[in-house]
């Protein structure tokens, strides 16, 4: 069995940055075991399988639709092409104040004595948002050592499945100033640190929009690969997240 496969770096215009994902094109449905085997072989945090819904669909024919709808395990995902990238249409999830005592061991294990300014929790996504003190800058967040291995030993009862560390951006006269920075960790689902995380920004967008009083923002995820996101909150309670994409591998997988 030979399958077309690509590796694309998302939320960047440059190769070897942003969030790498494998994309496999399927003429016919594969069983879940084969999905898992291919994903393990790719060794990336995301591997997507795109299958035709109708026999007449063609991967080689140019798609004239401005918006594509993907049926995923998490529901429908809509993406539309823009002049300078791709826009994802995502839900917006509120994050509520979190009792510090309930999560103090988890935070202490992750970041030690790092000063924390705010803690929020998103029950919809089971993500814990930890805002670091405004006294820190981007370089501090980038260089912060996060102890993800020991997080699995902290009593959690399944409440937290992802940890967002975030920091307010600094005013700057530069063209590419950012409103906020973040990093994302999910060892509970096998991802020590995700390079760039669209789902985390469904929570971050809600939080920072309220904090900054803005609907349109620019964000940077401070992983070692780094990724830029442009955010626009919509009146219908959803959020548009725009990012670039660079295809770095195109080939055939033999299974």
pLDDT of 19 higher than 60? yes
User: What ranges do the domains of the chain cover?
Assistant: 2-76+244-254, 96-242
The pair phi, psi for residue 28, each rounded to 5°, is -130, 160
Residue 172 — pLDDT band, cuts 50, 70, 90? low
Using one digit for the tens of pLDDT, what is the confidence trace for 132-145? Answer: 999 999 999 999 99
Using one digit for the tens of pLDDT, what is the confidence trace for 41-92? Answer: 999 878 989 887 777 777 777 666 678 777 766 567 788 888 888 999 999 9
Domains 2-76+244-254 and 96-242 share a fold: yes
Write down the pLDDT at residue 65: 67
* CATH class entry, domain 96-242: alpha beta
Write down the pLDDT at residue 199: 92
Write down the pLDDT at residue 38: 95
CA angle 241, 196, 99 (to 5 degrees): 90
Active site residues: 46
DSSP state of 53: S
Nearest to 183 by CA among 191, 173, 175, 174: 191
Burial (CB count <10 Å: 0-12, 13-18, 19+), residue 110: buried
Superfamily of domain 2-76+244-254, CATH level 4: Diaminopimelate Epimerase; Chain A, domain 1 (3.10.310.10)
> Can you read off the two tokens belonging to residue 3?
């399958």
Average pLDDT over residues 85-106: 95
Please report where in the chains the tokens 């548009």 appear, as a residue. Answer: 240
Average pLDDT over residues 199-221: 97
The separation between CA 97 and the C-alpha centre of its own chain, rounded to angstroms, equals 22
Average pLDDT over residues 161-172: 90
């Amino acid at each position: 069995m030979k399958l077309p496969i690509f590796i694309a770096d998302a939320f960047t215009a440059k190769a070897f940055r942003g969030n790498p994902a494998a994309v496999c094109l399927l003429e016919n449905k594969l069983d879940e075991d084969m999905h898992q085997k291919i994903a393990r072989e790719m060794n990336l945090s995301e591997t997507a399988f795109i299958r035709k819904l109708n026999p007449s669909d063609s991967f080689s024919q140019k798609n004239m639709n401005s918006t594509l709808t993907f049926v995923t395990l998490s529901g429908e995902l809509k993406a539309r092409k823009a002049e300078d990238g791709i826009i994802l249409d995502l839900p917006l999830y509120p994050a509520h104040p979190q009792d510090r005592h309930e999560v103090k061991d988890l935070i202490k294990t992750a970041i030690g004595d790092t000063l924390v300014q705010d803690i929020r929790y998103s029950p919809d996504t089971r993500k814990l948002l930890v805002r670091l003190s405004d006294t820190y800058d981007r370089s501090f967040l980038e260089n912060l050592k996060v102890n993800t291995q020991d997080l699995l030993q902290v009593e959690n009862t399944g409440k937290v499945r992802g940890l967002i560390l975030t920091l307010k951006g600094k005013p700057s006269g530069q063209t590419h100033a950012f409103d906020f920075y973040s990093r994302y960790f999910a060892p509970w689902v096998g991802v020590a640190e995700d390079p760039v995380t669209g789902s985390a920004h469904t929570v971050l967008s809600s939080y920072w929009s309220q904090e900054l009083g803005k609907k349109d923002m620019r964000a940077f995820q401070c992983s070692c690969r780094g990724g830029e996101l442009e955010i626009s909150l919509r009146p219908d309670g959803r959020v548009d997240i725009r990012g670039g994409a660079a295809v770095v591998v195109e080939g055939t997988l033999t299974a």
